[in-house]
Every structure is written in C-alpha cells, then in structure tokens.
Amino acid sequence: MMKTKMHGERESTSNQHRWLGGFSKILLAIGLLFFVLSPSVFAADTIKPEVTARNGMVASAQPLASAAGLEILMAGGNAVDAAVASAFALGVVEPNATGLGGEGMMVIYLADKKVTTSIDYRSMAPLADMSKVKFPPDGHVSVAVPGTVAGLCLALEKYGTMSLAQVMAPAIRYARNGFIVSDTLASTIKDRFDPISKNDALLAILAPEGLPLEAGQIIRNPDLATTLEKIAAGGPDVFYKGEIADAIAEDMAKNGGYITKADLAAYTAIEREPVRGTYRGYEIISAPPPVGGLSVIEMLNILENFDLASEQPLSPRNVHLMAEAMKRGFADNSAFIGDPAYTKVPVAGLLDKEYARQRAKEIDPAKMTPAVKAGTPPEHPSTTHLSVVDKNGNMVALTQTISSFWGACVAVPGTGIILNNEMQNWSSKGPNSYAPGKRMRTTIAPTIIAQDGRPFVTMGTPGAGRIISTMVILAVNLLDYHMGVQEAIESPRFYARDTEKNLSIEARVPKETQDWLKSIGYSIKEYPDFDLFFGGAQAIVVDLETGIMHGGADPRRDGAVFGF
C-alpha cells in the first residue's frame, strides 16, 4: 500500500492534486461496488470480521463517507482533515440524518500535544422571541440555526492540515455524480414521505419523478454540489453571511419560519473543554453540556460499584443493573443538563464518585424501580457518528444530526440544503427550557477512552434517546467484557428511561433473561434482532502495544470501516 507524507501546509503540489483526483475515482468505484454487492450488511445475523489497519482508519455510518475520509488520510491528511471530509460527505450520502442544515459535536485528541478538546456546533434558537410559539415536529417553524458548517470549518482551521476545498472534494463529487440508494435510506424516505411531500424543494430531491426513490436507484443533488462548491471556495461566511444565508432567510420569510440573516450571522461554533471521568482505571473523555457525555460518565460511575464481569454480558442481573443505572443517569440528565451559557450545570457534582455510590445504593438487585427521580449532586467549585484515527495517533469522535430523520422535511430552494427540526427538542421547564439564542439539549455523546494517558478508543452513535445508553453498553462491552470492537457493536442492545417500566430490548436478548426481568416488574418491549431504533454505532480501538487499529461499524445502519 502506498505510503504518504503528512501534510504540514495547506497547499498541495500539482502532483498530489493529480494523484488525489485519480485515487478518489477508484475509491468511489469501490464504495459503489460495496453497495451493489453487499446488501446483506443491513441484516447481519453473525459477528462480522473486524477491519484492521496500521496507517489510518475511518468508521462511519455510510461506506462512501468512510471512503471520503480514507481518501484524505491516504493523501497525507490527519485525523481532523479526514473527519471533516467524512462529515461533509455524510451530509450528502446520509441526508436523512445529517447535513449542512444540521448540527453536531466532536471530540478531538491531538497526539503531538497530548491534549483533548471538543467543538460544539449545536444548533441555536433564533434571536426572535418565540416563547408563545408551539414548536411543530416539522416545517419551517421547527428549524433552529444550523451549526454544521461553522463547526467543521473551525475544526479544520484550528487542527487540520488541508484546505477546505481539498476535504470537501469527495462530498461535492458524491452530490453531483450521485450514489445508490440503500435499503435504509429508502425506508426513511418512505416512512416520512407524507411531510416530505409537502415541500416541493425536498420532493424534487427525493422523488424526482413523483414517486419516492427506492433502493437501487441513483440519488443526485446537483444544487447541493453547487452549494458545497461555494462553501469550499468562500468558507463559512458564504453560508452564514453571504448568498446561502440570503437563500435560507428568504425561504424562512416566505414560509413563516423565524430564522433571519442576522441569526445566521450571529452563530458561532464554540470550543469547549470535554467532560472527563474514569471507569475501572480507564479515562473516559466525552462531549460536554449541552450534550450527553456527562450522563454517559455518570452511568458508568454508578456501574463501577458492581462487578459486572463476574457474570455473562446478558445475564438477568447485569441487564437489570445497567437498566437501573440508565434510569438514574437519565433522571439527572433531565434535571440538570442544559446550555451552560443559560444554566449552571453541576458538572463536578454529577461526576463525583461518592455521588455515584449513593445512587448505586438505591438499586435493589432483585427489584425494578418503577420511576426514578433526580438526585442531589454535591456542590463543587466550579444523530450519525464517525470515528477516525491517523497514523500519528490523532483521534476524532464526531456525532452530527438534523434531529428526526429528514429533519424539518424542508429543503431550501436552489441550495439542496435539508434543514433540521431541533426546535421541537425544548423541555417545558428546567435547564432545557426555551430561550432566544439558546442551544437545546441533546443526547449525542462522541467519546474517547484512554489508558495511562494514551487514547485507544474513539466511539459514538446516533439513536436519539438511546445514544447515552448505547454508549454505556459499548464501554461496558469493551472494558468489562473485553469484547472485540465489532462484537461490542453487534451485541444486543437495551434501553430504560427514568419514568418508564418499559425495558426496550432487541429480540436476541436471551429468553431466560427476559423472563426474569418480567418477573421483577419490567414491561418488555421487544424489537427485531438488529433494529434501527438503537442507532448505528461506529468505533475504532487501537492496540497500544502493536499500534494496529481495529474498526467496527454497525449493521443496524449502513456502517462501514475503511483503513490502510
């Protein structure tokens, strides 16, 4: 396999441009061939082989997005370059879940400086007072100010080595040339076709001949390709202050939406300190409020008080203990997590080990808690995912979303941009209550795990409310049960909320476990063996002794891992 030098400058040589262009066409062909020949990826019934590599790896929710990141790594880019390339590409090839009209959060580890940082590009409420507005599940009123372009551009500017034009090239190519519609993508179009059909601009993308696109057909978005080209040439100001901002504001004004050009111009991505904790001696580094990393660590802190490894992963006791920890973490998430610019989040208190011990003492190993209330943390001073690792040990965990599949079911005419419906995600009261200019809470939780100060896991998942519980399950699978990364991802999932008797599970959870859980009070809600309800995790684990990277991608979506 060809070896390349790491870039130190943003300008590449003409030879590199020629090589990159030729190689990218090969990767595009490989990606399309994968889609044609591998429909069974969406219905796995056995553990797939892990992908291994030494020089770089990308795990994302869609093969072409993984190919985009690999293309950048093989051209000499670092993990941030590749992550930004994959993220822009995901906005094209997984448009039901992410895109320029959405938002996200990423956690970055910089190997040369041995530091970890995070970039918050959560969407923001418009600056106008909407306190009297009832936020609908779709349509222009449901749209919050998008953050994706600002966040990806900030990450690239501060920590990447390539130009915006270089890393956006694969996304532009996919949008203009098109790609094959997968079963997963087709099903999401069908499921939301009623609200989709109410927006002519989105209908033109997803039903160009009047009927919804089906698996095996080609989907193209030439308007989006042109929009991406404008951003690649002019940077984020084109989106937030230039002609794209004009187009968004005009469409909002025509259709009763609230976002203005002033709202777009006011948006900024924010670099934040990640939240940090430990679990059985490993360091957990995750995305800070207003997203879900703090709750992932709190749940793990509670579980640290139980010897999970003494029993099988899906034993009745272990599933019960994890469900009870989830309930307490979700109760505290609802009570305390919000935009830190508008509410004081008791970060240190929720991370406190003694607080976790007290929460763990509430758990009866032989009884289900019907409803769990938030605790009182002590006072202290103070929906797609991708993972990337490069040959120098840099890591990125990045999760993006447009909220519901297809977001607001609104596309901005002439731009190909599909907008989010994040305004539906406010709470009626508490730290996540609405305010103008505020960022709403979400459960996304891109996470990095380190051992003795050396990061070796990057992981994350989409999946709405199931994100936090899935992240806990993945961490336990890797650190308690010592599963391989693909096995950890494919392991059956379950999910419990603080105010529900329901325990949502995949049908592969053993019957004896289900029967015992029912006997102590759980109401079991069973889902198919590998169900989209539980998200689509992607992860990379690095062997710290050999440097070999092991990648896993979720069969619940169109996940794929590429490395070299």
Residues 10 and 110: their CA atoms lie apart, in Å, by 18
Helices 79-93 and 164-177 pack at an angle, to 10 degrees, of: 20
**Residues 6 or more apart in contact with residue 507 via CB below 8 angstroms:** 492, 526, 527, 528, 529
Residues 409 and 406: their CA atoms lie apart, in Å, by 5
Instruction: Choose the catalytic residue: 116, 383, 384, 442.
Output: 383
Q: Is 383 a catalytic residue?
A: yes
Residues 442 and 564: their CA atoms lie apart, in Å, by 34
Give the Å distances, CA to CA, from 351 to 332, 345, 360.
11, 11, 14
Residues 104 and 111: their CA atoms lie apart, in Å, by 23
SS3 465: coil
> For residues 150 and 158, is the Cβ–Cβ distance under 8 A?
no
* DSSP assignments along 85-108, one per residue: HHHHHHHHHSTTT--TB-EEEEEE
Residues 275 and 271: their CA atoms lie apart, in Å, by 13
Prior bond to 290 cis, omega within 30? yes
- Smallest CA-to-CA distance from 444 within 140, 188, 121 is with 121
Catalytic residue ranges = 383
